[in-house]
Structure 1
Amino acid sequence: MIATLQCTVIDCPDPAALARFYQGILGGEVDEAYEDWVWLKPPTGARFAFQKVLGEYRPPRWPDPEHPQQFHLDFEVPGIEDMAEAQERVLALGATLLHDSGGERRGFRVYADPAGKPFCLCYGQNG
């Protein structure tokens, strides 16, 4: 091993707002000590950092290859019975639904966060 993961850095136009969005999903503490770099320290897992884009921000447009997603995050929901509540909560935080795989035993739903970056709520992936 050469190193361990320190954090995942996400470029965006408003670091504090996007950190609070993901705090609504993961919990944890937001550190807004700097205007252009904001930390989210979830109770479990690696930290996230949100970095202000200097200049024009071009959000991805999933699944448009002219505006690629660059990366995405997958969040596991305990089961399909929890998906409706999870969706309601991320939409209330400012997410936009992009795609529902429609799977009844295994599946995922793709959303855009407030900065336009895609993320998924998944269920049944490890079962």
Structure 2
Amino acid sequence: MIGRIDEVVFDCADPGALAHFWADVLGGTPQRRSDDWHYLDPPGWTRVAFQRVPEGKVVKNRVHLDVEVDDIPAATVQAEALGATRVGEIHADTAGSFQVLRDPEGNEWCVVKPA
């Protein structure tokens, strides 16, 4: 083992806005380290941070968060009310079900319900 995850960092245009969005999704209190760096510590999970970068998002994420929920349709509606965008329909297979979403800056993530 080399080490452990310290935090998951999102590159973004507006760190404060994304920190508030993700705090509403995951829990925790948004914290400001500087105008260019905000973060939150969701209960029971590692730190999630947001750093300002000059370039915009142009392609699909190579890594994304799966957020476990009890009710995918209800969680999707709640996420959309916070500023998320739904991508396609709910997918289901033997492992469970998931709905792809995008956060306010277009980062893909999923609400999931294991089988």
Task: Tell me whether 1:109 sits opposite 2:99 in the alignment.
Answer: yes
Task: Tell me whether 1:25 sits opposite 2:25 in the alignment.
Answer: yes
Partners of 2:60 and 2:108 within 8 A in 1: no
Give 5+ residue unaligned stretches, structure 1: 61-66
Query: What is the CA distance between 1:68 and its match in structure 2?
Result: 3.0
Query: What is the CA distance between 1:119 and its match in structure 2?
Result: 0.3
**Secondary structure in 2 matching 1:103:** strand
Partners of 2:24 and 2:82 within 8 A in 1: yes
Q: CA deviation digits over 1:37-66, x for unaligned, max 9?
A: 101111111001100012x31x24xxxxxx
Task: Tell me whether 1:122 sits opposite 2:109 in the alignment.
Answer: no
1:60-79 aligned at under 5 Å gives the runs 60=58, 67-78=59-70
Q: Identical aligned pairs, as a percentage?
A: 38
- TM-score with structure 2 setting the length: 0.90
- RMSD value, Cα: 1.6
User: Which residue of the partner structure matches residue 83 of structure 1?
Assistant: 72
User: Which structure has the highest strand share of the two?
Assistant: 2
Tell me the amino acid that sits aligned with residue 94 of structure 1.
Answer: G
Moved over 6 A (4+): none
